[in-house]
Amino acid sequence: MAFTATIAQLRGYISVEDRNRILGLMSRLGLAIDSPYLTPELLWKATEAITRTRDGWQRAAAPRPIGQCVFMNDLTRSELDKALGVHRAIAQNYPRQGNGEDMYVRLDPALEGAGV
């Protein structure tokens, strides 16, 4: 979602302010807005795989504007590579450099075994 917000902004579907609003909300919720596992190679392989399973369509969802959705079917490897570079640079300005918070929650020992 975060990455497609950046693509949407680069395509002019949403403003920089709206992109920042989306990324800021995701970050404040503790969600990852970037991942070191998202490489240009993996991104393109996933795009190709998705296209094969969706009858030749990418169907990548993006905001246009916030609150509405458009499905992009014309993403190129060049556009994805460029957008990923831009997105990575943006993510560095967010808490945890765009990483999410720990996804595991430790229960309070007083609650363990209490059926909670």
> Omega before 65 cis (within 30°)?
yes
Q: Which amino acid is at 109?
A: P
For residue range 76-112, what is the model confidence (pLDDT) as tens digits? 999 999 999 999 999 999 999 999 987 555 666 676 6
Map tokens 């190679």 to a residue: 41
The residue-averaged pLDDT of 57-78 equals 96
Backbone angles phi, psi at 35, to 5 degrees: -150, 135
The answer for 115, left when phi > 0, alpha when psi is -120 to 50, beta otherwise, is left
Q: What is the pTM of this model?
A: 0.84
Which pLDDT belongs to residue 102? 76
Residue 33, number of CB atoms within 10 A of its CB: 25
